[in-house]
């Protein structure tokens, strides 16, 4: 079961993780640059 | 072998005479206009004026580019060292170029023009923006140049013309470090910044235009003319007399007009006529070589030369150009050109930069950081998923566009932090659309590669 999950996780393209991080960074950037209310 | 038009040897002897004074006068003229532009921009100190300054500066950079090109052909003075020193200091280094590096590339272009060995063809093939017949989409590239869309081209050009000697690298580095330090001390860092932005935008735009008018759709060179004002602005110092230059590269720029007058044929065609002609040719992919325009003796090229396509720019380079650079422009605008965000004010205080003149709300510079951010957001998935499954690319791109445009819309309804403005929304949407236009289409390079890869298996 665990090995199955691990192999499934390994088969996922790392670019998905990269994109997720990138979009989070973009959101952080936009939120950080918003002027204080 | 290219046939050289017949010309009276005595006349050619006269036309080959160099004139350092003419070169220096043209150079002084360009620099005078550049200094005047910076003085006026600094005096008005309005965001819009800074933004518009890239047009006159880029035009004069074209002028320096033409003079640099003459220096590369050793047409400033017969004294080689003096030629290279003058050409480097006043034209090459300011443009981020070195004479030796450019010569290695450019002289091969002269020798191999119209053949697969022409390095210019490698550029056109790697970044295929010069398909024939001309399509409206190609005009959009000029708009994308204004927000840094030409950076990959400049990066490619930079690699093709990279310095050949350590001395050149040292000279170029000392020049730019000196410039940066001097302007930093003078609290005028915006001057070299605006200069570099102009190189990356309007200057490159002018080069892009010349690529259309020089050798596109012919194995030779188009012999064109245009309105004197247009020529003075976009192709100064006779750089548009490219046919004359290619047949007689030993003639300096200031005698190319006399050379043209001495050679009645082939017919000189107006620029608009060439563009109309280029819009009606048969299909010719960017980087392929054939005579398909009417000024090529009307003979349709039969064999289309193909090239081994040079390697595509690495992902990190493209991310730097389409993501990091727009973000840097946006952050730079926040830090240096817009006074309102408190973070920026604090950073400026920490860097001892002092407050800057206030920017009117709704101005170009208010929109620019948001638009640059939206461009970077949209460009990221398009580049990260450049290769690979179409579905993942589409999905992530849709998410990115939703974020790029949705962030501003969210401000409208109070879901995302920050103040909503219609200008920001339009700016962000336009930037996202631009990224899609520029980066969505994957080049046919891959298609042709996979096609050739598949061909043998089909045969087998």
| Tens-digit pLDDT profile for residues A2-36 | 888 888 877 888 899 999 999 999 999 998 887 65
B384 in contact with A at a CB cutoff of 8 Å?
Answer: yes
**Chain centre distance of CA B207:** 5
Integer angstrom CA distances of residue B364 from B103, B117, B311, B337, B422? 40, 44, 37, 11, 13
| pLDDT score for B308 | 35
List of chain A residues whose C-beta atoms are within 8 Å of the C-beta of residue B361: none
| pLDDT score for B339 | 57
The pair of three-digit structure tokens given for residue B459, joined into one six-digit string: 């045969």
Look at B369 and A33 and tell me if their CB atoms are within 8 Å: yes
DSSP track, B79-98: -HHHHHHHHIIIIIGGGT--
B333 in contact with A at a CB cutoff of 8 Å?
Answer: no
Q: Name the 3-class secondary structure at B260.
A: helix
Look at A36 and B342 and tell me if their CB atoms are within 8 Å: yes
| pLDDT score for A20 | 94
Q: Give strand ranges (E) for A1-37.
A: none
Q: Name the 3-class secondary structure at B351.
A: coil
Look at A30 and B341 and tell me if their CB atoms are within 8 Å: no
CA distance A3 to chain B (A): 25
Q: Closest by alpha carbon to B418, among A29, A22, A30, A27?
A: A30
Look at B384 and A36 and tell me if their CB atoms are within 8 Å: no
- Long-range (24+ apart) CB contacts under 8 A made by B136-141 are B137/B437, B140/B437, B141/B208, B141/B438
List of chain A residues whose C-beta atoms are within 8 Å of the C-beta of residue B417: 31, 34, 37
List of chain B residues whose C-beta atoms are within 8 Å of the C-beta of residue A27: 403, 407
A15, A35, A37: residue with CB nearest B341: A35
CA B200, B130, B312 angle in degrees (round to 5)?
Answer: 70
Gap between the Cα atoms of B148 and A13, Å rounded: 30
| pLDDT score for B454 | 37
CA distance A22 to chain B (A): 8
B319 in contact with A at a CB cutoff of 8 Å?
Answer: no
A27, A34, A35: residue with CB nearest B403: A27
CA distance B379 to chain A (A): 11
| pLDDT score for B335 | 74
| pLDDT score for B37 | 93
Gap between the Cα atoms of B382 and B377, Å rounded: 9
Look at B418 and A35 and tell me if their CB atoms are within 8 Å: yes
Look at B403 and A34 and tell me if their CB atoms are within 8 Å: no
Location of structure tokens 């090529």:
B296
B421 in contact with A at a CB cutoff of 8 Å?
Answer: no
The predicted complex's ipTM stands at 0.84
- Mind listing the pLDDT tens digit of every residue in chain B (460 residues)? 457 888 899 999 999 999 999 999 999 999 999 999 999 998 888 888 999 999 999 999 999 999 999 999 999 999 999 999 999 999 999 999 999 999 988 999 998 888 888 888 888 888 888 888 888 888 888 988 998 888 888 888 888 888 888 888 899 999 999 998 888 888 888 999 999 999 999 999 999 999 989 998 888 899 999 888 899 999 999 999 999 999 999 999 999 999 999 998 888 899 999 998 888 888 888 888 888 777 765 443 333 333 333 445 778 888 998 999 999 988 887 776 665 555 556 666 777 766 555 544 446 677 888 999 999 999 999 999 988 888 999 999 999 999 999 999 999 898 888 888 888 898 899 899 888 877 876 654 333 333 333 333 333 3
Look at B417 and A16 and tell me if their CB atoms are within 8 Å: no
């Amino acid at each position: 079961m665990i090995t199955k999950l691990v192999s499934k996780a390994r088969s996922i393209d790392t670019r998905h993780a990269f994109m997720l991080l990138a979009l989070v960074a973009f959101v952080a950037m936009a939120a950080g640059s918003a002027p204080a209310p | 072998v290219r046939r050289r038009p017949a010309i009276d040897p005595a006349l050619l002897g006269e036309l080959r005479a160099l004139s350092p004074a003419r070169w220096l006068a043209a150079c002084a003229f360009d620099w005078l206009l550049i200094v005047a532009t910076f003085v006026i921009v600094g005096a008005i100190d309005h965001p819009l004026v800074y933004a518009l300054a890239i047009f006159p500066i880029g035009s004069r950079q074209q002028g320096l580019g033409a003079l640099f090109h003459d220096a590369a052909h050793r047409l400033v003075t017969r004294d080689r060292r003096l030629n290279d020193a003058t050409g480097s200091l006043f034209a090459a280094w300011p443009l981020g170029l070195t004479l030796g590096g450019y010569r290695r590339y450019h002289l091969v272009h002269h020798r191999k023009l119209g053949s697969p060995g022409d390095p210019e063809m490698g550029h056109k093939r790697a970044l295929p923006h010069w398909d024939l017949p001309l399509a409206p989409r190609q005009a959009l590239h000029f708009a994308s140049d204004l927000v840094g869309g030409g950076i990959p081209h400049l990066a490619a050009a930079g690699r093709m013309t990279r310095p050949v000697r350590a001395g050149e690298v040292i000279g170029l580095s000392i020049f730019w470090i000196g410039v940066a330090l001097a302007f930093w001390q003078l609290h005028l860092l915006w001057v070299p910044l605006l200069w570099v932005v102009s190189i990356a935008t309007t200057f490159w735009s002018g080069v892009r235009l010349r690529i259309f008018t020089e050798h596109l759709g012919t194995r030779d060179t188009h012999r064109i003319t245009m309105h004197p004002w247009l020529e003075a602005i976009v192709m100064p110092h006779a750089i548009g007399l490219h046919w004359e230059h290619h047949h007689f590269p030993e003639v300096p720029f200031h005698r190319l007009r006399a050379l043209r007058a001495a050679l009645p044929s082939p017919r000189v065609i107006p620029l608009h006529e060439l563009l109309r002609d280029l819009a009606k040719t048969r299909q010719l992919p960017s980087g392929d070589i054939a005579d398909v325009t009417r000024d090529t003796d009307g003979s349709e090229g039969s064999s289309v030369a193909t090239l081994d396509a040079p390697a595509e720019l690495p992902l990190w380079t493209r991310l730097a150009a389409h993501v990091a650079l727009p973000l840097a422009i946006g952050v730079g605008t926040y830090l240096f050109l817009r006074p309102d965000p408190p973070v920026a004010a604090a950073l400026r205080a920490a860097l001892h930069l002092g407050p800057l003149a206030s920017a009117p709300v709704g101005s170009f510079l208010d929109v620019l950081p948001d638009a640059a951010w939206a461009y970077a957001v949209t460009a990221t998935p398009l580049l990260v998923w450049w290769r690979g499954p179409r579905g993942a690319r589409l999905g992530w791109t849709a998410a990115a566009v939703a974020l790029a445009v949705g962030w501003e819309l969210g401000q409208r309804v109070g879901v995302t932090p920050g103040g909503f403005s219609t200008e920001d929304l339009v700016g962000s949407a336009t930037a996202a659309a631009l990224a899609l236009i520029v980066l969505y289409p994957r080049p046919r390079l891959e298609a042709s590669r996979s096609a050739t890869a598949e061909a043998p298996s089909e045969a087998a």
